[in-house]
Chains A and B, each alone.
Chain A
Amino acid sequence: MAVRIAPIASVLALLTIVGCASAIKNGQSTALTGVDLVSMTDDMAGKIGSDAAVNAAAANGPLKIVVLPVVNELRAEIIPAGQANAFTGRVRVLMAKHAPDRFVWCMNRDAFYDLQRRELDLGIDPGPSPDRVQPEYALTATFSSLTDETRKRRDTFYVCAFQLTNLKSSAVLWAGSYEVKKEAVKGFLD
């Protein structure tokens, strides 16, 4: 009897597995993910907060910083508007939380109103309106990548560079980068 049940059970198990497998849960992607967002912004916020030059500049009073969305210089990878704001927006949120006395943050107008529209989805507070603060510094981020794709795999090496720039003098007060390599191996039916 056990011998007869085995094939039926296998078919049922297979059908169940097939039925449950989601198109978006299987597979590997070379795109930046929420995990990258968290680790990258944690890293950048920590480095800005502990930088001697930044702290020296903030000693004379809080730095007024405008946050700009990420500039996409990635090869064959897209950063939709919401994500472009989220990468720099989260750095601002972390810094505002951990060093509220050293920084006053504002966003550029486009990003502010866009993030305000998406606030509920992203769970990120867009901060004060850009019309209320005259910024002295800009926090910018430029994401670049080397991407290649063959029939068998897709590889992307990301360099995500952040900069804190004095808007009057154009001097770079702080610069940091986050690097990550991603690989997606194509399967038999990919």
Chain B
Amino acid sequence: MNADQRRWKEGRVRCSASRSSFNYLRASAFICGLTLLLGCQSSKVEKEGRRGVQDYLAGNYSGAANKLTPLAQQTDENYVLNNLRLGSAALAAYDLNTAEAAFLKAWEVINAGGVNSGARSVAAVWIDEKLKIWKGEPYERALASFDLGLVYLMRNDFNNARAAFENALFKLRDYASDKDEKKDYTEQESTFVLAHVLLGRCWQRLGREDLARGTFDTVTKLRPDLAPLADYDRQAGTNVLLVVEYGYGPRKREDFDNGTTMAFAPTPQTAGQIPPVRVLVDGRPYPLAGTDRPTIDTIAMAQDRRWQSIDTIRVTKSVIGTGLIAGGAGYGLYRLNEGRMRAEDAAIVGGLVAVGALLRASSNADLRQWEMAPRTVFLLPLTLPPGTHDVTVDFPAVGVGQSWRGLVVPQYGDVTYYFRMNRWVPGPFVWPPNSPAASPGGFVSADALK
């Protein structure tokens, strides 16, 4: 081979290496562009979802429902989440048909198995955990079932309400350890006696005294402080049930190594105590006689979350990613120091750093959550004469309350009313609530009727 041929061959190799680098760059740019496009689209939808949540938190329930309705129809990875959000907004606006439909859609996917199997699992692990179909933490699943049961309870459909409360208790079994499931089931169910109480009330209304007594006994055994609420005779003698949701559940936040793992905040220690509740009927305090205890604390329940295997995968990915970045940088420095940095070396360095960065970027924790979930639920059974009554539920210690005028108590049977405590929605409102198109919150303010 003569000198010209050698120069020509070296030139071709250099040219081929730079073409190869160019191809890599082009392919990477294409993938990044595609990912960005997908990301932009999903972030637009996520923004709209967040706006719906903000409306809900501000007490504009009908506005929240309007924003969330189109999102809840998309069968994407946020299908369950958006239906739960819509269900909450519709329930607070007393649009029970929409609430039932939304909670039922979420229920079907939450109860199904293998929803995230196949490509979704692979994508969630290797690309972004947010690609998995969100089904919520066990306490969120239990609350979803509970809210669906509440819709049926408000319609006096006791059989479906009972079934939903039973399902709520099943959902907490996901907390249980594999080693001692039976024992753990009881432990987990003790944190959600809320469902037990209403299950007992349903059995009572269905004429199953034996099952009602058994269920109320379970409540007393699990939570002795709730004995007045689980008293069979008291429950039988009441004709009005106020279901009061107070506060908000814990927030998910990034924790450890740049958001690789997830934690809940605040903790029960930092959140403070749940304030005591007071009920006024026709302007006079109603004697709650020990039934005013909070039934759950989702902030405490969230701390029970098991360390999921995907957390470990994220940590591993983050560590490998950091290693690749460091390795790539080290290799580049080494070649530069030696003065032998070639196009292939640059491609190797770039590749290692890019793969490392991608691994780290895709190891972020999934922070999606059902923002409307309450911190606690009060179940307040009342005995009121048939007719209409003005009812106020308030928390004097924190200055939060809500009033309704003209709540109807029927001549026969039961009635259940739902109060979603919100600083911005104090009322007073007039029963029956109008269509969701009415004033903020979907209700008619008593002041507006003056």
Interface set of A (CB-CB < 8 Å, partner B): 4, 8, 11-12, 14-15, 17-19, 21-31, 71-81, 147, 149-151, 153-154, 184-190
Contact = CB atoms under 8 A, between A and B. Distances in A.
Contact of B80 (A18, A23, A81): A23
Count class of interface residues, chain B: 35 or more
Interface string B143-160: 000001000100001011
Contacts of A77: 163, 167
B31 interface: yes
Contacts of A76: 163-164, 166-167, 170
Contact of A150 (B116, B127, B173): B173
Contacts of B283: none
Given A71-B159, A76-B170, A190-B135, A184 B75 contact: no
B163 A28 contact: no
A22 to B, nearest CB: 4
Contacts of A19: 38
A11 B108 CA distance: 30
B132 A11 contact: no
B277 to A, nearest CB: 30
| Among B31, B113, B114, B160, residue most surrounded by chain A Cβ atoms (within 10 Å) | B113
Contact of B117 (A4, A22, A26): A26
B180 interface: no
Contacts of B310: 189
Interface of B: 23-24, 27, 30-31, 34-35, 38, 75-77, 79-80, 100, 104-105, 107-109, 111-124, 127, 131-133, 135, 148, 152, 157, 159-160, 163-164, 166-167, 170, 173-174, 176, 178, 181, 309-310
B115 A149 contact: no
Q: Ordered nearest first, which 4 A-B pairs have the shortest CB separation?
A: A184-B113, A23-B79, A27-B115, A189-B116
A80 B122 contact: no
A15 B309 CA distance: 23
A150 B181 contact: yes
A91 to B, nearest CB: 20
A28 B104 contact: no
7 contacts: A14-B127, A29-B108, A31-B108, A72-B159, A72-B163, A78-B164, A187-B121
A76 B172 CA distance: 13
A189 B132 contact: yes
Nearest to B24: A4
Contact of B160 (A27, A28, A30, A80): A80
A29 B117 CA distance: 14
B115 A74 contact: no
A72 B109 CA distance: 21
A50 B201 CA distance: 43
Contacts of B170: 76, 147, 149, 154
